[in-house]
């Protein structure tokens, strides 16, 4: 039985160009391809605890993970609790993160978020979406990352990479990130959401880039849509 399945998949990969893949077939191909390329999915943002993970995710908006890590490596050894950032105050936080884009807005959010975690949650990062999304600067995507990577809760945070690839792969109509998230949660098994979230991000950065693939050159795009010739216009989140 195992050999039969293996033989079928080899045949399918070889002659995929002659088929129009349905949703179930695309799902299997995507999972297999991503597991092969990214068997391990280390968390890109470096952190010391759940609180610093939350801070890093806030800093990562419109900024690369590498840039965030380069800045936080000089912060977290000394400042890693909400009380530390409250004591620092907005102006000092600004100085610490000034190499990161829109640092003044982020410094304000980090300060207010730290203050609220300290006063309303006894210094502990809340463990529910509802409570997380009440924190200053924390939206659903940030809350999803913290729930997934900080607490191990199955979540499917949708960023620009995932929103783009889901459209190129024909998994969503791309109206907005909420719709994309709901579509992906419906299609993929819950047990792989957290890992798949990172795998798709890695693949989007390496193979299906915003200004390179356009839905017509990477392995997954060409296998799912072998006859596609025109670039896919992505609906922005």
Range of the structural domain that residue 201 is part of: 20-41+156-224
Structure tokens at 237: 């989140």
Residue 234 lies in a domain: no
67-126: per-residue pLDDT in tens?
999 999 999 999 999 999 999 999 999 999 999 989 999 999 999 999 999 999 999 999
Element (H, E) at 160: helix 160-168
Structure tokens at 11: 């045949």
CATH number at residue 181: 1.10.1670.10
Structure tokens at 215: 């839905």
Q: Are 113 and 137 in contact (CB under 8 A)?
A: yes
CATH number at residue 75: 1.10.340.30
Residue 9 lies in a domain: no
Structure tokens at 45: 């943002």
pLDDT at 236: 72
Report the C-alpha gap between 30 and 143 in whole angstroms. Answer: 25
Residue 14 lies in a domain: no
Domain identity same for 29 and 55 = no
Q: How many domains, the chain?
A: 2
| pLDDT(221) > 90 | yes
Say what the pTM is: 0.86
Q: So which residues are the catalytic ones? A: 141, 159
132-187: per-residue pLDDT in tens?
999 999 999 999 999 999 999 999 999 888 999 999 999 998 788 999 999 999 99
| pLDDT(195) > 90 | yes
């Amino acid at each position: 039985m195992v050999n039969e399945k293996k033989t079928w998949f080899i045949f399918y990969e070889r002659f995929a160009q002659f088929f129009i893949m349905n949703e179930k077939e695309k799902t299997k191909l995507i999972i297999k391809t991503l597991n092969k390329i990214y068997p391990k999915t280390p968390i890109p943002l470096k952190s010391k605890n759940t609180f610093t993970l939350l801070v890093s995710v806030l800093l990562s908006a419109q900024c690369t993970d590498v840039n965030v890590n380069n800045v936080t490596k000089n912060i977290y050894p000394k400042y890693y609790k909400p009380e530390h950032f409250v004591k620092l105050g907005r102006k000092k936080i600004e100085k610490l993160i000034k190499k990161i884009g829109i640092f003044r807005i982020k410094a304000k959010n980090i300060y207010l978020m730290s203050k609220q975690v300290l006063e309303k949650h006894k210094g502990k990062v809340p463990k529910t979406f509802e409570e997380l999304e009440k924190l200053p600067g924390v939206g659903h995507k940030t809350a999803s990352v913290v729930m997934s990577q900080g607490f191990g809760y199955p979540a499917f945070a949708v960023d620009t990479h995932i929103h783009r690839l889901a459209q190129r792969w024909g998994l969503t109509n791309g109206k907005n990130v909420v719709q994309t998230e709901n579509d992906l949660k419906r299609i993929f098994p819950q047990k792989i959401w957290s890992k798949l979230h990172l795998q798709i991000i890695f693949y989007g950065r390496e193979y299906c880039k915003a200004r390179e693939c356009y839905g017509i050159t990477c392995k997954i795009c060409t296998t799912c849509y072998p006859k596609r010739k025109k670039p896919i216009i992505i609906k922005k989140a």
